[in-house]
Structure 1
Amino acid sequence: MHIPPHDNRNRAIVDRDDPLVPLVYFNIVRLKPGEHFDYRTPGYETCVVPATGTVKVEVGGEVFADIGNRGVDVWDGEPEGVYVPSGTGTRITARTATECFVAGAKFDEALSPFAVRSGDLDVVQYGSDETKTHRKIKHILGTRYHDRVGRLLVSELFTVGAGGWSGFPSHKHDTDRLPEETRHDECYNFRFRPDYGSGLQMLQRVDNEPGDAYHIMNRSTVLIDKGYHPCCALPGYEMYYFTILGGQSQRSLKQYFQPTHAAQVQTIPGIMDMVAKFR
């Protein structure tokens, strides 16, 4: 499902118990300097990640100051974030003009809040220019925090260079059938540089049968409930997408590569290092 760019007025773009992707939550909060935003998400753990600007996050009696260091866009600096336990009241206060992503996953247990600073990221780069799959992933809530988070995985994905494919070889994660696959709902929010760039999100629900394709633009949101889902950027444009994964029975993601294209795993340098980081 594609949700076109729009002013959400600080209301959830993907709310709790969404009928299509009930395991994830997503909001974009825009604040002017000095403004604040209060929220609570019962039954969902969340992570506050400034796309731009700097904020203070108050949660569970703790204060995390000066979160975020990016300027004009998501390419201008490294991501930072604050993990918010399930159902815990939270206040985001803008130190500078800010746009904040709030990512969530369904999880009942209340854990402890913590900050993720730019030096704490799990970063992996894989693919190649030759295979048109070169990209970098910055895991905000990645393997490093596996024992401190319930079901939520949060990452930022960047194409390296202009144009090319992401999420290939095509894979899915819509069925709990370990050890082959896990059920993880997924949500993307896209950005392009320059911002008038665009791309394509494919969604093929059955191997070798026609699926759907969505024209994605700057600030498009895409929901992935089931099926194989590669995406690409037009030549000459850089693509970024903020990624939220929420697991049904475990945090670690086990993706199932599309049988028709599974052999392509052998052609893409470093792809298994990428797979290992989604845990």
Structure 2
Amino acid sequence: MSTQHTHGGPTAARPDRHLPAGSAADGPYALRVDPERAGWTHSSLRVLELEPGGTHTLDTGDSEWIVLPLNGGCAVEVDGTTFELLGRESVFGGVTDFAYLPRSARAQITSGAGGRFALAGAKCGRRLPARYGPAPEVPVELRGSGTCSRQVNNFAAADSFDCDRLIAVEVLTPGGNWSSYPPHKHDEHRPGSESVLEEIYYFEIERDGLGYQRVSPSRDGGTDVLAEVRGGDAVLIPDGWHGPSIAPPGRTLYYLNVMAGPGATREWLICDHPDHAWIRGTWPQEPVDPRLPLYLPPAAASGSGSPAASGNGSPAVPGDGSPAPDTARDGDGERPETTEEGA
């Protein structure tokens, strides 16, 4: 059973920052988080469940969306074009292809065999063209080292796929490791140092395991959550230091990060918690967890590429086999504010 504890005065009345599986279900959606539900302005996430032969119509409204298979495949028809998504057996089995849907459109999602599909969304201003995201082009990066090692699938990171507002990545943390660590935040507008991003964490844990998620206040009355999370749970982070995300021994922890914000530039700029930022300095002395990568994009798996050194010395595995950009990221793909680039 998933539980949540809050600490401190005003935040004790806000248990809705942790949404146990099923608590935010709505019709065909096992999870539905929209700005109105979250009490913010931009970020959305829905988890669509389709029976074999099932069809769902999505009106994108004033948001852009990415259809990301969690398990199973589907066809996505939008603006007169149909994208056939091969999908995957599970989030623990491989990188998936995906489809981008523009605002002001009607899309139809159909699955012959059935499946579960994440719809990651963000309110936006520009109407970009509908597009297909091939699995071989998804950059896969390994971040941290030792027990802080994790894998990041940067399918819609700010520097890997063009969106107007939406930023989304997948993180896989081997059993017993910590990710989203050191704790970090992105709740202030500080040009060149930190951007404002509303964030959703959606969790799945291998073989029905459990994990833990911490969010601590960065301001008086801010978000304060310590949640036991299980498959299908979500945690909403409008502000605060988030991390660690803790994987149980023997079970891989998966989470999908969905972010968007009001800034004029689509970018990740974060600030590490000053009490914990020192951990980055220990990473160069430790090897990356040998269990990583858990898997590679299809092209890399077939031999077109091998792990290359990224800017922080951790292996990076872009889908085309080329080196990753010389840009440091933290455990959920975000760029840390540190005194040493790539630390």
- Which residue of structure 1 aligns with residue 28 of structure 2? 10
Identical pairs, percent: 27
Is 1:201 paired with 2:218?
A: no
Aligned-partner Cα distance in 1 for 2:333–2:45: 22
The one-letter code sitting in structure 2 at the alignment partner of 1:70 is R
C-alpha contact (below 8 Å) 1:125/1:274 kept by paired residues: no
C-alpha contact (below 8 Å) 1:49/1:80 kept by paired residues: yes
Deviation sequence 1:180-235 (CA, Å, 0-9, x none): 2000001111011111x11111111138x994311111111111110011121222
RMSD (Å) for aligned C-alpha atoms: 2.3
C-alpha contact (below 8 Å) 1:124/1:137 kept by paired residues: yes
The one-letter code sitting in structure 1 at the alignment partner of 2:160 is R
Aligned-partner Cα distance in 2 for 1:216–1:21: 22
Task: Choose which of 269, 272, 287 in structure 2 pairs with 1:254.
Answer: 269
- Which residue of structure 1 aligns with residue 77 of structure 2? 58
Task: Choose which of 24, 28, 53 in structure 2 pairs with 1:34.
Answer: 53
The one-letter code sitting in structure 1 at the alignment partner of 2:175 is A
Change (3 A) 1:21 1:235: farther
C-alpha contact (below 8 Å) 1:172/1:226 kept by paired residues: yes
Task: Choose which of 180, 188, 191 in structure 2 pairs with 1:178.
Answer: 191
Of stretches 44-53 and 256-265 in structure 1, the one that deviates more from structure 2 is 256-265
TM-score normalized with structure 2 length: 0.74
Q: 1:113 Cα deviation (Å)? A: 0.8
Q: 1:2 Cα deviation (Å)? A: 0.5
Of stretches 198-207 and 90-99 in structure 1, the one that deviates more from structure 2 is 198-207
C-alpha contact (below 8 Å) 1:83/1:114 kept by paired residues: yes
- Which residue of structure 2 aligns with residue 216 of structure 1? 229
Give the secondary-structure state (helix, strand or coil) at the position aligned to 2:275: helix
The one-letter code sitting in structure 2 at the alignment partner of 1:192 is I
- Which residue of structure 2 aligns with residue 99 of structure 1? 116
- Which residue of structure 2 aligns with residue 274 of structure 1? 329
Is 1:114 paired with 2:114?
A: no
1:63-82 map, 5 Å: 63-65=82-84, 67-71=85-89, 73-82=90-99
The one-letter code sitting in structure 1 at the alignment partner of 2:214 is M
Deviation sequence 1:89-118 (CA, Å, 0-9, x none): 111011321100000012022110111111
Task: Choose which of 236, 239, 255 in structure 2 pairs with 1:226.
Answer: 239
Give the secondary-structure state (helix, strand or coil) at the position aligned to 1:194: helix
Of stretches 22-31 and 10-19 in structure 1, the one that deviates more from structure 2 is 10-19
Say how many residue pairs are matched: 271
C-alpha contact (below 8 Å) 1:5/1:218 kept by paired residues: yes
The one-letter code sitting in structure 1 at the alignment partner of 2:328 is D
The one-letter code sitting in structure 1 at the alignment partner of 2:19 is I
Aligned-partner Cα distance in 1 for 2:200–2:333: 18
Q: 1:26 Cα deviation (Å)? A: 0.8
Change (3 A) 1:247 1:211: closer
Aligned-partner Cα distance in 2 for 1:141–1:109: 17
Q: 1:16 Cα deviation (Å)? A: 4.0
Q: What are structure 2's unaligned runs of at least 5 residues?
A: 1-16, 285-311, 315-326, 336-343
C-alpha contact (below 8 Å) 2:19/2:235 kept by paired residues: yes
Q: 1:40 Cα deviation (Å)? A: 1.2
Aligned-partner Cα distance in 1 for 2:70–2:253: 14
**Highest Rg: 1 or 2?**
2
Q: 1:21 Cα deviation (Å)? A: 3.4
- Which residue of structure 1 aligns with residue 278 of structure 2? 263
Q: 1:69 Cα deviation (Å)? A: 3.0
C-alpha contact (below 8 Å) 2:175/2:250 kept by paired residues: yes
Task: Choose which of 167, 172, 175 in structure 2 pairs with 1:153.
Answer: 167
Larger strand share, 1 or 2: 1
TM-score normalized with structure 1 length: 0.90
Aligned-partner Cα distance in 1 for 2:118–2:87: 14
Aligned-partner Cα distance in 1 for 2:232–2:116: 12
Aligned-partner Cα distance in 2 for 1:200–1:235: 12
Give the secondary-structure state (helix, strand or coil) at the position aligned to 1:273: coil
Aligned-partner Cα distance in 1 for 2:224–2:256: 23
